[in-house]
């Protein structure tokens, strides 16, 4: 059952003020995906690592807090964008009989990556989070680990959900099989854990692998820290990775701006027929979500790729039929952009989005309907029928379900529609604490904040 805030009284809302074309340039904060991957590799590296351009947000803070509780020294400077990590190799982890309790909030990357890594390193741990975290399945990951685990690992909530309890002395050499159609983070977690185990590990993926660019990102980060990965062997039904027993080595690592966050600003250009440049990214960025720009190109926008920037020029939008399996974190952005196209749009290949921070198909459909859209849900996505008369829109208060991406994507509707209010805007702290400030700066228009309920 999805945790929703749609039936609760919002404490604070923010209303986006519509206007003309949005034009300007912006550099989003560092990538959450890259920051948490680099933190995990640095945690178990020989020597010290320096991470530059790191994201400071709830998701990265819970990862850092967990590392510190395990005994890893992490220091920060420059507002948290520079992190220095003193690695703790497996043989120096200081494993004891005491259970280390780790609070993970609602960070999917943190709990999935640490579940795999700590089981490989050895020790006794309990990983738990907010109520929604205890509804997000992780059983496929724990089931994959158990056959090579020297010890036990259990997801103790119904349906194979956290809390996760680990009692381990490490992995034995062998093979792992994991389903690929639920979350690429399971495979990424297993891949990053393998060098920690000190064993040669073969990982085989059953079925379709979702969000493949994130797995490629994982492999690239691992290699930056000295890990050795045999090129994946692929067939029509499985993909396999063989990872050497060579561990990680400390390094200096530069983190790209977050491409998922960039999608909101590119989307702003598309919706408003403006021109927005996102700095620090390129067509060759490690993050697959840069591919969202190609979806906007299909919808009629112009896209200009430079060495260190990507610019989207908004044009009249047309409806498209697109498979977004590879860039599923941008589906909500796409859905809002599609409201202003000249015909229906269909998004496919993202059934796994129902198991994110909230149901990013069903709950998204609910909020888009409040804007006057006709939405048809499908097993693997949705169809969006554009707004018939945007000028007749009477306003709506949109629930965010404590999901940062719901808040950021839905806010874009307010660039064209008067009276769009976003509930619980502070939920963006999960990955982008300053999002609404940056959007305000880019548009040059002040938002309207209502804190009357918070002060009641």
Q: Do residues 351 and 207 lie in contact, with contact meaning Cβ atoms separated by under 8 Å?
A: no
Whole-angstrom CA distances from 47 to 44, 114, 226, 251 are 9, 20, 12, 8
* Both structure tokens of 417: 């529609």
Place of tokens 């993202």: 350
How many of the other CB atoms lie within 10 Å of CB of 424? 22
Residues linked to residue 365 through DSSP beta bridges, in sequence order? none
**Cβ contacts of residue 35 below 8 Å, gap of 6+?**
51, 54, 55, 60, 63, 255
Q: Do residues 109 and 404 lie in contact, with contact meaning Cβ atoms separated by under 8 Å?
A: no
Alpha carbon distance 45, 345 (integer Å): 46
Whole-angstrom CA distances from 231 to 216, 223, 373 are 11, 12, 45
* Both structure tokens of 322: 């697109």
Q: Do residues 264 and 408 lie in contact, with contact meaning Cβ atoms separated by under 8 Å?
A: yes
Alpha carbon distance 70, 101 (integer Å): 9
Residue 445's φ and ψ, nearest 5 degrees, are -125, 140
Q: Do residues 316 and 337 lie in contact, with contact meaning Cβ atoms separated by under 8 Å?
A: no
Q: Say whether 329 is catalytic.
A: yes
Whole-angstrom CA distances from 408 to 264, 273, 276, 370 are 7, 19, 16, 16
Catalytic residue among 140, 289, 329, 403: 329
Catalytic residues: 329
């Amino acid at each position: 059952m999805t945790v929703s805030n749609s039936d609760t009284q919002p404490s604070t809302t923010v209303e986006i003020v519509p206007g003309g074309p949005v034009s300007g340039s912006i550099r989003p904060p560092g990538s959450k995906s890259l920051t948490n991957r680099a933190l995990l590799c640095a945690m178990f590296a020989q020597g010290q690592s320096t991470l530059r351009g790191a994201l400071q947000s709830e998701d990265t803070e819970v990862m850092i807090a967990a590392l510190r509780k395990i005994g890893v020294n992490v220091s920060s400077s420059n507002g948290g964008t520079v992190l220095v990590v003193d690695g703790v190799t497996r043989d120096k982890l200081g494993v004891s009989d005491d259970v280390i309790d780790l609070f993970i909030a609602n960070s999917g990357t943190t709990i999935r990556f640490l579940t795999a890594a700590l089981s490989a390193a050895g020790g006794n741990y309990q990983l738990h989070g907010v109520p929604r975290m205890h509804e997000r399945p992780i059983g496929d990951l724990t089931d994959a680990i158990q056959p090579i685990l020297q010890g036990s690992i259990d997801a103790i909530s119904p349906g194979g959900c956290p809390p996760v309890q680990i009692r381990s002395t490490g992995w034995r050499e062998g093979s792992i099989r994991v389903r690929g159609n639920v979350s690429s983070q399971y495979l990424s977690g297993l891949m990053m854990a393998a060098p920690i185990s000190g064993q040669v590990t073969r990982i085989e993926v059953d079925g379709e692998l979702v969000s493949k660019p994130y797995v490629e990102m994982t492999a690239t980060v691992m290699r930056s820290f000295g890990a050795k990965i045999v090129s994946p062997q692929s067939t029509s039904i499985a993909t396999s990775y063989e990872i050497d027993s060579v561990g990680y080595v400390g390094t200096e690592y530069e983190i790209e701006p977050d491409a998922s966050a960039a999608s909101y600003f590119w989307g702003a250009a598309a919706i408003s027929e403006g021109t927005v440049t996102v700095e620090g990214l390129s067509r060759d960025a490690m993050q697959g979500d840069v591919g969202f720009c190609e979806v906007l190109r299909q919808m009629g926008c112009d896209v200009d790729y430079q060495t260190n920037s990507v610019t989207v020029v908004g044009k009249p939008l047309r409806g498209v039929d697109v498979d977004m399996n590879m860039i599923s974190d941008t589906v909500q952005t796409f859905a809002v952009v599609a409201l202003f196209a000249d015909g229906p749009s269909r998004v496919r290949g993202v059934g796994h989005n129902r198991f994110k921070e909230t149901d990013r198909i069903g709950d998204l459909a609910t909020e888009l309907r409040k804007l006057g859209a006709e939405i048809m849900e499908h097993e693997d996505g949705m169809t969006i029928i554009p707004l018939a008369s945007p000028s007749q829109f009477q306003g709506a208060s949109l629930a965010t379900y404590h999901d940062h991406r719901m808040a950021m994507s839905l806010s874009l509707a307010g660039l064209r529609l008067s009276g769009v209010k976003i509930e619980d805007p502070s939920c963006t702290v999960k990955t982008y604490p300053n999002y609404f400030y940056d959007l305000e700066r880019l548009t040059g228009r002040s938002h309207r904040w209502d804190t009357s309920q918070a002060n009641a």
